[in-house]
């Protein structure tokens, strides 16, 4: 039985992807999980993997094609099988084996009272009809236009159906200056990039929709520092085990004990999650991304450390899969590496809470009524006040403080 190869849904992106290259060619044998092609969205570059074993056939789109997500770009068949090609969305060039690229068929618009109806496969026409005034452009073209301040409405597209391609924005941008507000002496104006605009819209929406409160406490980090040092001695390949890894484990344990914050507000109610999936805020050249460590409460610190290193490395290279950027139930952000003591993190929608971790710093502390040197860390919990009141949130943060000061309780 033939299985379609689909462009994955990349989450909060433009809904389109550009095919960068095919890693397999028609006739190649493939295994489940094997990478077939590489695509780029306005958020990341990712590989599309095979969901079935067999032979790759029916490659419908070439390198450089821009296609909507969930579009079938090829099929995987059993050896010797010749499936009938499924219907394809019009408006995009593609090529079957031995078939030349052909221009897209004209769009047929619906008429009141009957008449010709839109082609059911004409996804672009439908998308355009529901988004009046939005220029038809590829993700790369949009990103370039945003970076240069170029208005897409002023660009003539050379792609199918007049779609604006990257080459069009490049040509238009040569010698052109970004449109910008009135210049003020001693200043310069920089337009949002596509990624920065997405972050800005999400953070503004979070602040508008969720009444957010931040609670702050200071914890004794001496025992946590000793535990990290011991892990680095006793665990293989744990030389770069970070405090973030320990805080992921601590937050997951606290969420398991007090699940009110492993939740979100949804449809006039509260959705509680059984699984604990912790997102980690990662700073990249393209902007902030939040890959997710799944089932964090069921994993040891060493496994969390391996996953954190891998996710962070691929996040900075723009190589995360869509599923690795979605599904979080709680977020952790650590600014200790930047010598930040305390801050007020913003809830990552649609989640209900985020834990901010400051630097672990050596300073004078009072123990047993005596002033002595010690290690401390400031913890900041921001939560959606629609989800819980101050009391439950305070108890949750108090539990995290206790686990930081007495990490042996993690195995109790």
Partners of 264 in the β-ladder = 271
What is the number of alpha carbons within 13 Å of residue 76 lying toward its C-beta? Answer: 21
Q: Could you give the CA distance from residue 229 to residue 223 in angstroms, rounded to a whole number? A: 10
Give the closest residue to 318 by CA, choosing from 40, 48, 9: 40
- Residue 389 annotated to the active site: yes
CA-to-CA separations, 132 to 129, 136, 201, 373, 382, in angstroms, rounded: 6, 10, 20, 64, 38
Work out the number of other CB atoms within 10 angstroms of the CB of residue 86.
12
Selecting among 4, 42, 385, 408, the annotated active-site residue is 385
Residue 109 annotated to the active site: no
Residues 337 and 312: their CA atoms lie apart, in Å, by 14
- Residue 58 token pair: 């029916």
| Distance (Å, whole) CA 320 – CA 40 | 11
**How many CB atoms sit inside 10 A of residue 135's CB?**
18
- Spatial distance between the Cα atoms of 212 and 231, rounded to a whole number of angstroms: 36
Contacts 24+ apart (CB under 8 A), 78-86: 78/1, 78/54, 79/29, 79/54, 79/55, 81/2, 81/54, 81/55, 82/57, 83/2, 83/57, 83/58, 85/58, 85/60, 86/4
Of 240, 245, 389, 408, which residue is the catalytic one?
389
Q: Catalogue the active-site residues.
A: 385, 389
């Amino acid at each position: 039985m033939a299985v379609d190869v689909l462009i994955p849904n990349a989450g909060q992106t433009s809904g389109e992807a550009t095919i960068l290259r095919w890693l397999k060619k028609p006739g190649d044998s493939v295994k489940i999980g094997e990478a077939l092609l590489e695509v780029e969205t306005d958020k990341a570059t990712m590989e599309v993997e095979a969901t079935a074993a067999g032979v790759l056939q029916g490659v419908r789109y070439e390198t450089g094609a821009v296609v909507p997500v969930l579009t079938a770009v090829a099929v995987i068949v059993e050896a010797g099988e010749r499936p009938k090609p499924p219907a394809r969305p019009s408006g995009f060039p593609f090529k079957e084996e031995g078939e030349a690229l052909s221009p897209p068929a004209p769009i047929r618009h619906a008429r009141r009272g009957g008449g010709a109806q839109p082609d059911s496969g004409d996804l672009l026409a439908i998308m355009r009809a529901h988004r009046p005034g939005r220029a038809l452009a590829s993700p790369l073209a949009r990103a370039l236009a945003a970076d240069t301040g170029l208005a897409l409405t002023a660009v003539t597209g050379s792609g199918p159906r007049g779609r604006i391609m990257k080459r069009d924005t490049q040509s238009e941008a040569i010698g052109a200056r970004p449109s910008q507000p009135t210049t003020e002496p001693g200043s310069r104006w920089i337009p949002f990039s596509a990624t920065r605009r997405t972050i800005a819209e999400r953070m503004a929406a979070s602040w508008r929709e969720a009444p957010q409160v931040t609670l702050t406490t200071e914890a004794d980090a001496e025992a946590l520092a000793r535990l990290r040092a011991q892990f680095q001695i006793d665990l293989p390949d744990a030389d770069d085990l970070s405090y973030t890894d320990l805080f992921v484990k601590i937050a997951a344990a606290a969420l398991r004990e007090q699940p009110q914050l492993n939740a979100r507000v949804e449809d006039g109610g509260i959705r509680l999650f059984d699984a604990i999936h912790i997102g980690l805020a990662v700073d990249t050249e393209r902007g902030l991304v939040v890959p997710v460590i799944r089932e964090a409460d069921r994993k040891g610190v060493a496994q969390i450390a391996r996953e954190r290193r891998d996710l962070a490395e691929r996040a900075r290279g723009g190589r995360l899969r869509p599923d690795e950027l979605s599904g979080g139930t709680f977020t952790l952000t650590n600014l200790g590496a930047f010598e930040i003591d305390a801050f007020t993190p913003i809830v990552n929608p649609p989640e209900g809470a985020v834990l901010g971790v400051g630097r672990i710093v050596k300073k004078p502390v009072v123990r047993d009524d005596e002033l002595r040197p010690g290690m401390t860390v400031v913890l900041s919990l921001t939560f959606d006040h629609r989800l819980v009141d101050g009391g439950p949130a305070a108890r949750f943060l108090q539990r995290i403080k206790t686990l930081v000061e007495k990490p042996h309780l993690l195995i109790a």
